[in-house]
Amino acid sequence: MIEMKKNTVLSGVQPSGDLHIGNYLGAIKNFVDMQNDYNCFFCIVDLHAITVKQDPKILKTNTLEVAATYIASGIDPKTSTIFNQSSVSAHAELAWIINCVTRMGWLNRMTQFKDKAGADKENASSGLFTYPNLMAADILIYKATHVPVGNDQKQHLELTRDIAQKFNRDFKCENFFPIPEPIIDKNISRIMSLKDGSQKMSKSDLSEYSRINLLDESDIIIKKIRKAKTADTLMPEKIKDILKLNEINNLLNIYSGFTGIEKQMLVEKYKGQNFSNFKSDLSDILVEQIKPITSEIKKLMQNKDYLLEILQDGQNKANEVAQKTLNDVYDLVGFIRNET
C-alpha cells in the first residue's frame, strides 16, 4: 500500500525521441530533488506521444529509454512510482469524463495546440486538440497536489485547475480533486536552441546542433558547444544587457542549471571576456555531468528485463491509487458499477 500522507507529485515525459538537456534541466532533474519530500508518480506519457505520428517499434524503445533516463538521473524506483501511462487504463477513462467537463472555448485557447498543429489545423489529430484533458487526467487521477513542469506547460496546468474546480462544482463534491500547484523553476525551465535563442530546444528541430542529447558522446558535446551561437560582443556586465542576447542568456542558464551557480556570479566571472573561455568551461561541466548519466542509460538499455520489471511494479502501484479515484468518479458521475 502506498503511503498517502505526504503531498503527491505527478509529472510526465513524452517518449517521443532522444531526450536532451532541456528535458533534463526543465523536468527530470527537478523530479530527482522532489522524491523524498513527496509521494511521487513519474509517468512516461505514451498516450500523449501518439497525438502525433509515431513509429510503433521506435515508440517502445523510446518508452524504455525514458524509464532508463529517469533511473540514470537518480529517480529511485523504490521511492517513486515509474510507469507508462497506457499501462494504467484509468488515465484514458478519466480523460473521457474530462472531455465532457472541459469546454471547447477553454481548449481553443491552448497555445500549444496552435503551435503543434501549425498551419494545417484541419489535419491535426483530435487527440492533439484534447491533449490537455488527458494531461489533466494524469494529474487528477492521483489527486496530485504539485506538478513540476516546464514553463511551456503552465497553461495546461491552469486548465487542469479549472477542470478540477468545475468537476468539484458540477458534481457537488467540494475538495474531491485538490487544485494542483505547478512547480516551475523560472530560471532554467526553458532551455532554448543552441542555434536560435528564441526557439525552445526541441527533439524535433532538424539541426542536431540545436540541442545536446543525453546520449551524446563527450566529443559531440564539446563540438556542439563550440558551434553554439553567441554574439558579436564580449560578455556583458549587466544581467539586463544579457537578457537582450538570447543565445548568451541561454548558455548561462544551462551553465547555472547544471552547477547551481547563480547567473549573476557567472557574469561576474566572465564579464568583459570573449566567449571562448566560457564555452570551454561550459563544455567541461556538461561532459562531467552528462557522462555518468549517458553510460548508465546505455547500461540499463542492455537490461530490458530489469526496465520491464520496474514498469510492471510501477503499474501495479499506480493502478491501485488510480482505480480508487476512478471508482469514486464513476459513482459521482452516476455510472452503475458491478461489485466485482
* Residues between 114 and 133 with contacts to ligand TRP, criterion CB under 6 A: none
Q: Which of 19, 40, 44, 45 binds ligand TRP (CB under 6 A)?
A: 45
**Under DSSP, is residue 91 helix (H, G, I), strand (E, B) or coil?**
helix
Q: Please report how close the Cβ of residue 50 comes to ligand TRP at its closest, in angstroms.
A: 12
Q: What is the number of the residue whose Cβ is closest to ligand TRP?
A: 12
Q: Is 203 a catalytic residue?
A: yes
**Under DSSP, is residue 61 helix (H, G, I), strand (E, B) or coil?**
helix
The active-site residue out of 116, 166, 269, 271 is: 116
CA distances from 313 to 2, 42, 44, 81, 159 (A): 12, 13, 14, 8, 31
The active-site residue out of 166, 203, 223, 291 is: 203
Q: Does 322 bind ligand TRP (CB under 6 A)?
A: no
Which is closer to ligand TRP, CB of 228 or CB of 311?
311
The active-site residue out of 29, 143, 195, 200 is: 200
Which is closer to ligand TRP, CB of 39 or CB of 283?
39
Environment class of 37 (CB within 10 Å of its CB; exposed 0-12, middle 13-18, buried 19+)? exposed
Separation CA 280–CA 330 (nearest Å): 57
Which is closer to ligand TRP, CB of 142 or CB of 255?
142
The alpha carbon of residue 6 and the mean position of all alpha carbons in its chain are separated, in whole angstroms, by 22
Which is closer to ligand TRP, CB of 95 or CB of 235?
95
Where does 213-322 show beta strands of DSSP type E? none
Q: Does 82 bind ligand TRP (CB under 6 A)?
A: no
Q: Does 48 bind ligand TRP (CB under 6 A)?
A: yes
Which is closer to ligand TRP, CB of 30 or CB of 250?
30
Q: Does 14 bind ligand TRP (CB under 6 A)?
A: yes
Which is closer to ligand TRP, CB of 149 or CB of 184?
149
User: Looking up cell 528564441, which residue turns up?
Assistant: 198
Q: Does 11 bind ligand TRP (CB under 6 A)?
A: yes
Q: Please report how close the Cβ of residue 239 comes to ligand TRP at its closest, in angstroms.
A: 28
Environment class of 203 (CB within 10 Å of its CB; exposed 0-12, middle 13-18, buried 19+)? middle
CA angle 261, 264, 267 (to 5 degrees): 100
* Residues between 247 and 306 with contacts to ligand TRP, criterion CB under 6 A: none
Q: Does 34 bind ligand TRP (CB under 6 A)?
A: no
Which is closer to ligand TRP, CB of 28 or CB of 242?
28
Residue type for position 323: Q
Q: Does 12 bind ligand TRP (CB under 6 A)?
A: yes
What does DSSP say about strands 81-84 and 39-44: parallel, antiparallel, or unpaired? parallel
Q: Please report how close the Cβ of residue 189 comes to ligand TRP at its closest, in angstroms.
A: 11
User: Looking up cell 568583459, which residue turns up?
Assistant: 272
Mark residues 132-171: x for contact with ligand TRP by CB under 6 A, - for none: ---x--xx-------x-x---x------------------
What is the size of the binding site for ligand TRP (CB under 6 A)? 12
- For 155-202, the DSSP string reads HHHHHHHHHHHHHHHHTT-TTSS--PEEE--TTTS-PBPSS-TTSB--
Q: Which of 9, 10, 90, 287 binds ligand TRP (CB under 6 A)?
A: 10
Here the contacts of 267-271 (C-beta below 8 Å, separation 24 or greater) are 267/235, 267/236, 267/237, 267/238, 267/239, 267/242, 270/235, 271/234, 271/235, 271/236, 271/237
Q: Is 116 a catalytic residue?
A: yes
Q: Does 72 bind ligand TRP (CB under 6 A)?
A: no
CB 329 within 8 A of CB 97: yes
Q: Helices (DSSP H) in 26-125: which residue ranges?
A: 29-34, 46-49, 56-73, 90-99, 104-108, 111-117
Q: Which amino acids are annotated catalytic?
A: 116, 200, 203
Name the site residues for ligand TRP (rule: CB under 6 A): 10-12, 14, 45, 48, 135, 138-139, 147, 149, 153
